[in-house]
Structure formats: structure tokens, C-alpha cells
Chain A
């Protein structure tokens, strides 16, 4: 079945430094799945950060970017300069696609130090 892997459970970065959160996927139900990043800020519900539905394209939101790389089956999340307000849990997701529900990674907790 489809799956998503996030290798880092926790990441700590100093404010104004760059960030990369890794995400790789495996899709057996569809050749080119839709890819998403969701975020959960402290005290809030899970919400969409950005999405890309076309291989090779880049999505961006709130200073974050992610590029859909079908060769490496990756969708890493990057930001050039993080802020304390970016501290949250980030989830990479595959789908929904066709008749399949979205699949999520285990999540990466980002802590930005002042």
C-alpha cells in the first residue's frame, strides 16, 4: 500500500537558520500521487500548509517550500530562515488519490530556539 516516511521525529533549529524536513513516499495505487504538508501549531488543529499535485512542481506557503521529485520519490520541506512562530509539528501526506484516503508520515516536531 501507499506510505510516507519522515525520518526525523524531532528537529531543533536556531532562529534565522535554515531548515529541511525530509519526506519520502511510496505509492502503489497511483503513479503520480498528490502530495501535501500539514502543520499543527500548539493548541490548534491540523491544517494544510502547502500542496503540489504535479510532479516536478514546487509549492510554497508562509516562507516554506517543497518540491515534488518523482525520481527520488521525495517531497522535502524547506525554509531559508525559521522563526520562533514556526515551532509546530509537520506532517507529510500522500493523497487523497482515486479511492484511497490520505496517508501521513509520523510527523516531525520542529522547535525553533530564540
Chain B
């Protein structure tokens, strides 16, 4: 079975650009998460979807970050406009449901904003 797939693996953007990161969750999983990973903050929640409905939206990220689930097997994270402080690894993850099940992570997209 395929795990969580994220594309692209690396992205370089100029300040002010719009970028779109993509994610395909594990087939059959109902919950999908986007996180930003940095050395200082660790994993910060950006968005949480259940069956395509938005359950949580990371408060600090609302203005320039927008995640969507186009269907049950595809999600995007748009950053508009990008800023140098957005440079980080963006992780997508999915789980079967919100009970005691583990979360499966993609390998991440490393974003560099210059």
C-alpha cells in the first residue's frame, strides 16, 4: 500500500510568490493533517480535515495559509504570498480516524523562500 505522498519534495520560491504543495493521504484514511516543522517550534498544526470537512485551523497561520481537500484522496496547501520566515519543512499526515490510531506521515516538502 502507498503511504502518504507529498509533492514536490523541494520548492524554492521568491518572496511574494504563491506556492501550492500537494498531498495524497493513505487510501481509506478519513483524517488529514498539515504541519509545519522547524527546529525551534517542532511540529505546528496548520490544518486538520475529517472526511473533507475542516476541523481545526492553526490560528497563527490563517492569513496567508490555506489548505483544501479537493476530494478524499487529494489535498493542497497554498501559501500566498510567501515570506522568508515560511522557510521550513511542510508535512502532510493522515490517520484512519480520531481514535487511538497512529498518524502516518509523508516525507515532507522542504520550502525555501528567498
* A residues adjacent to B (C-beta < 8 A): 6, 9, 34, 36, 38, 44-48, 51, 53, 91, 93, 96-107
Contacts and interface: CB of A to CB of B under 8 A. Distances in A.
A51 B101 CA distance: 9
A46 B105 contact: yes
A104 B98 contact: no
Interface string B76-114: 000000000000000101010011111101111000000
A97 B95 CA distance: 12
B24 interface: no
B33 A102 contact: yes
B45 A101 contact: yes
Contact of A106 (B42, B45, B50, B55): B42
Tell me the interface secondary structure of chain A in the complex: loop
A1 to B, nearest CB: 9
Contacts of B60: none
Nearest to B58: A101
A93 B95 CA distance: 14
Contact residues on B (Cβ < 8 Å of other chain), bracket:
20 to 34
16 contacts: A6-B42, A9-B39, A34-B100, A36-B103, A45-B108, A47-B105, A51-B100, A53-B100, A96-B101, A99-B50, A99-B55, A100-B55, A100-B56, A105-B42, A107-B39, A107-B43
A101 B55 contact: yes
Nearest to B32: A101
Interface of B: 3, 31, 33, 35, 39-43, 45, 48, 50, 55-56, 91, 93, 95, 98-103, 105-108
Contacts of B102: 36, 48, 51
Nearest to A9: B39
Contacts of A36: 102-103
A45 B93 CA distance: 11
Contacts of A98: 98
Contacts of B55: 99-101
A11 B105 CA distance: 24
Contact of A45 (B42, B101, B105): B105
